[in-house]
Amino acid sequence: MDWRIPSGVTRMILLRHGKPSEEMKGRCYGRLDVGLAPEGHAQAERAASLLASADLQGLYSSPRRRALDTAKRVAEGRGLDIRVEEAFREIDFGLFEGLTYEEAERQFPEVYAEWMAHPERVRFPEGETFSEMRERVRAGGRVLRARHVGQCFALVSHGGVNRTLLAESLGMADKHLFRLDQVHAAVNVIDFYGDEPVVKLTNAAP
C-alpha cells in the first residue's frame, strides 16, 4: 500500500482490534470489556508494522480494552496520543452479552431467530438495534473527517463499526452489511475527495 495521499484528500484508516481473550470464543460480546489474546497482541503488532509508513495526524479508539490494546501498538514510537471516542463502541447486545449462541437461542428464541434472519433489524433485549449503532457511528465518522480535512487518521474499533463505515461509503443497504468480511486486525482504507468516498483497501490481514 502506498501511504502517500494526494493533496486535499482525507484518508480514514479503519483497523479492527486483534483477537480477544479465548473465554469469549463462541460468545456474544459487544459492551463486555475484554482484552486481547496472545494471538491478538501479535496481530496488533503486525497491523502496526503495516501502518508504520502512514503519516497519521490522529489516532482514535473505541473505549473497549481490546481496541485500546490494539491502538497502543499503533501509537508506539509515533508520539501520538490515543483519543477515545464513545461513538465507535461495538453494538450493545444487552442481555445477550456473555452468552454463548446456544444459550442466547435457548433463553430468547424469538429474538435469536429474528437476529439470524434480519440482523440489521433486531433489537437486543435491553441493548441496541443496528440502526441506533449505525447513526452514532456515522455521526462520529463525520466529526473525525471534519477534524482532519486533507490529513490521514486511524480509527481502531470493531468489526461492526468498520462494516458500518464501509457500507456507508459503498452505498450498501443495511441488509447486505455482512457481505463485508472483517477479520481480526483487518486494515481498511477510505479516501474522501471532499464528501465523495473511494474505498482503497478492505479487510487486509496484516
Active site residues: 17, 90
pTM: 0.94
pLDDT tens string 3-58: 999 999 999 999 999 999 998 889 999 999 999 999 999 999 999 999 999 999 99
Which one of 3.20.20.150, 3.40.1360.10, 3.40.50.1240, 3.40.50.720 gives the CATH number of domain 10-94+128-204? 3.40.50.1240
Q: How many CB atoms lie within 10 A of CB 194?
A: 9
Helix locations, the chain, DSSP H: 38-50, 65-75, 101-107, 109-117, 130-147, 159-170
Nine-digit cell string for 137: 457511528
Q: Could you say which residues of the chain have pLDDT below 70?
A: none
d(CA 91, CA 62): 11
Is 138 annotated for ligand binding? no
